[in-house]
Structure formats: structure tokens, C-alpha cells
Amino acid sequence: MNRAVAAAAAAMLGAGAWMLAVSYGWRHGALLPLGGLLGLALYHAAFGFTAAWRALIVHGRGEALRAQLAMLALASALFLPALISGSLFGRPVTGAVAPAGVSVAVGAFLFGIGMQLGGGCASGTLFGLGGGSVRLLVTLAFFIAGSLLGTLHAPWWYAQPSLGSVSLIDALGAGPALAVQFGAFAVLWLGSVAWQRRRSPVALSDDPSPPGARLLRGPWPVLWGAVALALLNWATLALAGHPWSITFAFSLWGAKIAQALGVGVAGWEFWTWPFPARALARGVAADGTSVMDAGIVLGAALAAALAGRFRPVWGMPWRALLASVIGGLLLGYGARLAFGCNIGALFSGIASFSLHGWLWLATGLAGNWAGVRLRRSFGLSNG
């Protein structure tokens, strides 16, 4: 265990939550440790989409995908009563429902390529960075740059053909919507099993450590991570009034940096819309997504320290560095076009019964397929 790093991460989570609560209220302050729990769960369960989807595409291993389906099923069941009533514990809530159209399809496809080149998705980049990955620091820097560029072009992309915002609950009714989602999860689950049997991969071994010892120090079975993330996304809905998201914060950070350098981003159409304009006018600490993102990094650092694996490695081959640059740009640009990433659009979108979440899943997987085939050009292994 790295006690110094663990103590520092825990202290920053505690002190940060207190300061945010004093300035913005207890709900806002609670978002930082909630992000910390997400980071801890992501790190201990190694719950990334990038490696999981690469394992499915290259080797036929579907265990992680099935854990993701379990996570989506549990989150859908948890979200449904709140989405029907419009409130949770007396607080108004809204789901992550966005237009399903060309911008989502293109954005998710680009994001999928970026996942494989950049070495992580949105959540994977944050928890990997917290765990000490220097390469993902490069990915994050260009993720932010790509997100900012995406806000410049977003109005044009959003004007392209679309089916509009389609909620399966509104379109079908609550019961049929839940049945449709669970039916789709079952089909994907059985399909992944059939694909795995066809490819006959070597079974993955599990860690024999007692469950109690693994809770704080890890590693967790991936199903533990799936359950934890579903519950924590539901907690985000209760505290923030909306599901978990990640990448709007990257757009905001990029805009703040650009403003500091004298770029007039406030005049870009995207930043004149009500929600982005309010976020740009306020401090970063007032943005709940930014607070949770910071919590994820700190929570992952805490988890890595508890596991005794916080060991930053400096230096990387130039082709891997180039892949991080290109991958980061595609991640940021794609997420802005697609109304979010694998968390805000896929996870929270599907849990909110939004059609755009399913479109993101299909085109994001296609992008990962293309990205896997590009990795060798940058000297990256598909192992």
C-alpha cells in the first residue's frame, strides 16, 4: 500500500467536499466523494470499455461485455420509477434523452476509433490517469482540445437528419419499454456467449483472495464493478437531478483555457445556448460534472494506492504518443457530436430509455472495430 498517496487522495476528497458544500450546498459537495466512489469502483474492477470491447473483437472474450449488460439492466430497473414520476427523494430528475441522428452515429463512430488509439474511453481515461498512467494524461489533454473543437462545429452537426429525442417510455409505455430493453440485453448476452464459444478463448482466471480483503485493495470481479456503477449512477440521478456524465466538463475546461488565451469562445453558437452559457459564466467548481470528474481521478488514485499499484511510468514510444494525440482528439470531438461518451450517452442514455443510447452502442462498437485494426499502425498491441 502507498500510504502517502492514499492519505493525500482521501484528504483532498474530504476537504474538497467540505469546501464545495459550504459554497454550493451539500448536494453539490457530495458529488466529489460520489465521483471518488466511481473512480474506486472503476479502478478496482478494471471496468473500462476499451479493453473489454477489444477483447470481444479480437479474442472473442465476452465476459466484460456481459458485465456491462448486467450494469445496464440494473440501472434501467433503478431509473424507471424515477423517470416515470419525474422525481427521486423529492428532487426533480430528468433522464439523458437526446436526438438520435447523424451526429450521434458519426460522433460515436469517431469516439470508438479514439478509444482504441487513445487507450481509454472517457471513464477509462480518468481512472487510468488517477491510477498513474502518464500516457492517458496526453490523451486527456487532446480529449479536451477535441471537445472544444466539437463545440465549434456542434450546431452544424446537430442540424443534420435526426429522428429527434425518442424516449422508449414515452413511445411504448413503461412496461413495454422495460421489456424491450431487457429483451435487447438478452439477445446481446446470448450473442456474446455464442461468439465466445465460436472463438474458444482461454478462460480468464479469478483472483483467489478473500472477498473482504478485496473490497478496499482490489481487484474486484467485474460483476462487482457493474453493480457498483449502476447503483452509483442512480445515486448521481438522486443528487444531481440527472444521470452520470463526463465529457461536457472537458468542453468547459477547453473553453475556459481558450478564454484565458484570448479566444472569444463565448461568441460561438454552442456557448450562447442557455446551459453552456451559464456554465461558461460560472467557475469550474460550480459545474457538477467537473466536480465528479475530479472525484473519479482522486478515487482511482486512492484505489491504486490501496492496491499498492500507484507507480507512474514516464516516457513512451513516439508512435504511442501520436496515437494518444489522435485518439484524444477523436474522443473529444466524437463525444461532443454524440451528446456524450460511453457514460453520458451509452450508459446513462440506455438507462434513461433513450433511443440515442442504443444508436451510440451500435456505431461506437463499429468504431472500436475500426480502431482495433488501426492500432498496429501505431505499434500498439491488441493483446
Q: H/E/C letters for each residue in 291-344?
A: HHHHHHHHHHHHHHHHHCCCCCECCCCHHHHHHHHHHHHHHHHHHHHCCCCHHH
Integer Cα distance of 382 and 54 in angstroms: 7
* Block residue for cell numbers 478463448: 201
Asked whether 50 and 120 are in contact (CB, 8 A), the reply is: yes
pLDDT of residue 219: 84
pLDDT of residue 198: 86
State the angle between helix axes of 288-307 and 3-24 in degrees (0 to 180), rounded to the nearest 10: 160
Structure confidence by residue, pLDDT tens digits, 91-131: 999 999 999 999 999 999 999 999 999 998 889 889 888 88
| Cell numbers representing residue 152 in the block | 465549434
Structure confidence by residue, pLDDT tens digits, 175-184: 999 999 999 9
pLDDT of residue 205: 46
Q: Write phi, then psi, for 161 (nearest 5 degrees).
A: -50, 140
State the angle between helix axes of 248-260 and 288-307 in degrees (0 to 180), rounded to the nearest 10: 110
3-state secondary structure of 210: coil
Q: Give the number of other CB atoms < 10 A from CB of residue 106.
A: 18
Give the residues across from 349 on adjacent strands: none
246 burial level (CB within 10 Å; 0-12, 13-18, 19+): buried
Q: How far is CA 91 from the centre of its chain?
A: 24
49 burial level (CB within 10 Å; 0-12, 13-18, 19+): buried
Q: Indicate the Cα dihedral angle 43, 357, 265, 261, nearest 10°.
A: 20
State the angle between helix axes of 63-85 and 222-240 in degrees (0 to 180), rounded to the nearest 10: 20
Give the residues across from 140 on adjacent strands: none
Asked whether 79 and 305 are in contact (CB, 8 A), the reply is: no
Element (H, E) at 43: helix 26-44
pLDDT of residue 206: 47
Asked whether 148 and 254 are in contact (CB, 8 A), the reply is: yes
Domain ranges for the chain: 3-201+214-378
Per DSSP, the residues of 65-123 read HHHHHHHHHHHHHHHHHHHHHTEETTEE------EEEHHHHHHHHHHHHHHHHHT--HH
Residue numbers in the chain where pLDDT is lower than 70: 200-214, 216, 218, 313-315
* Block residue for cell numbers 502517502: 4
**Residues found in the chain:** 383
Element (H, E) at 194: helix 174-199
